[in-house]
Copies of this chain bind each other. A is one copy, B any other.
């Protein structure tokens, strides 16, 4: 790890964050960073990703470290790297250098953590070894992160309150991630006409993220089968007439994520059926962003997307009936079966380790409705929140051929008309939208999303 010059803004921000936490919680807090996980043998490790809660307050992806936050102070617990490790890993910053960089009030060897664990709240981390250490050092069974109890629940609520809206430093990082992701998608569009496979386009996109010394925030989706919603394979050849869906986002060194989806024609030209549906998805996307401002319910944004989609599908002759009634019966979800988006921050689905505690306002829970149950965010929007807006249209065989759906929606779908749109298997358009006092700022706005613009970029 190279520490760049001490960044006063950064350490001041970290101080602000822990002071805010202290206002919300009287208990001491200990957050663990976690440990790298091994791939096929111990020394062959996946790239280390520190816990997001740790990163939020510590600001650096330190491995096998913990911070204790109490009354606005931060104590760092981490071991110095051994002299032998300098041979293999080079000279690392000392504990004191790290402490100075992040503005810690004190720093100790990791072993000293055990003497200050009394009455501390924590959040369970994902890797089991570190989790076992949490339980051992706190001398209690720490509940899973998505079901905290007692002081841990209080801590989770306080952290959610902080992380739900982003400070300036966070926004700077989120904008960096967005900017690199935009360049990555542009590279993907431009590489597509010369590429023969999904894998080649993925290589072109991710190489831009790597070249900026960032990582992918999640497993990229780069596929001509966009109807497979979580398709993380890149086996298919690109065929003329295919649409390619790319859902790829960069993550900065300190863990802040971006999340962008674009869909473009393999040849660089949309067919007329593809363009009809593409323009409809974009209309839903634009209508949602237009509507976003503080106080608006995110679920209403989702329902607006559903309405625009239903309405447009009626206009295209694919659905039959009154758009509002169609949404009421979840007919839109035949083609748009997921939520309109989610929180974005240190995690691509921000704070999803906490289950729905962050995504759902206290007292709310997931709907049983087919058209609402997959919504990851159900809160009134506030200035400083960053959300994705990602409507889509998919022809998912598992849905469209499902006897139960087939029966329920037999009368409202014009199946023979739908058959004319066979070259539209999956379209999604996703941008990262910051809620501002006056409305929105789209962090990913510099990436074209109009069909004409995309065709021009690919020409």
**Cα distance, A252 to B210, chains bound together (Å):** 21
Contact string against B for A residues 190-219, beta-carbon threshold 8 Å, 1 for contact and 0 otherwise:
000001010110111011111111000011
Are A210 and B219 in contact (CB-based, < 8 A)?
no
Are B199 and A229 in contact (CB-based, < 8 A)?
no
**Cα distance, A210 to B51, chains bound together (Å):** 27
**Chain B residues within 8 Å of A349, by CB:** 41, 43-44
**Chain B residues within 8 Å of A351, by CB:** 41
- By beta carbon, the residue of chain B nearest A126 is B38
Q: Chain B interface: which of A83-91, A101-109, A160-168?
A: A83-91
**Cα distance, A407 to B132, chains bound together (Å):** 45
Does A348 belong to the interface (CB within 8 Å)?
yes
- By beta carbon, the residue of chain B nearest A225 is B90
Q: Identify which of residues 347-373 in chain A touch chain B, using a CB-to-CB cut-off of 8 Å.
A: 347-349, 351-353
- In the assembled complex, how far is the CB of residue A133 from the closest CB belonging to chain B, in whole angstroms? 13
Residue in B40, B45, B255 whose beta carbon sits within 8 Å of that of A347 in the complex: B40
**Cα distance, A86 to B228, chains bound together (Å):** 8
- By beta carbon, the residue of chain B nearest A195 is B211
Q: Identify which of residues 2-47 in chain A touch chain B, using a CB-to-CB cut-off of 8 Å.
A: 2, 37-47
Are B88 and A229 in contact (CB-based, < 8 A)?
yes
**Cα distance, A203 to B208, chains bound together (Å):** 7
**Chain B residues within 8 Å of A208, by CB:** 203
- In the assembled complex, how far is the CB of residue A198 from the closest CB belonging to chain B, in whole angstroms? 8
Q: Identify which of residues 333-357 in chain A touch chain B, using a CB-to-CB cut-off of 8 Å.
A: 337, 346-349, 351-353
Does A275 belong to the interface (CB within 8 Å)?
no
**Chain B residues within 8 Å of A227, by CB:** 90
Q: Identify which of residues 220-250 in chain A touch chain B, using a CB-to-CB cut-off of 8 Å.
A: 225, 227-235
Does A128 belong to the interface (CB within 8 Å)?
yes
Q: Identify which of residues 167-193 in chain A touch chain B, using a CB-to-CB cut-off of 8 Å.
A: none
Q: Identify which of residues 38-90 in chain A touch chain B, using a CB-to-CB cut-off of 8 Å.
A: 38-47, 49, 51-52, 83, 86-90
Known: A40-B126, A202-B211, A207-B210. 10 other contacts (CB 8 A): A1-B233, A2-B233, A45-B219, A90-B228, A91-B398, A195-B211, A203-B207, A204-B211, A206-B206, A206-B207
CB-defined A-B contacts under 8 Å, sample of 26:
A37-B37, A37-B46, A39-B218, A40-B51, A40-B52, A40-B255, A40-B347, A40-B353, A41-B52, A41-B126, A41-B351, A43-B349, A43-B352, A87-B396, A89-B231, A90-B227, A195-B211, A202-B211, A203-B206, A203-B207, A203-B208, A203-B210, A204-B211, A206-B207, A206-B210, A207-B210
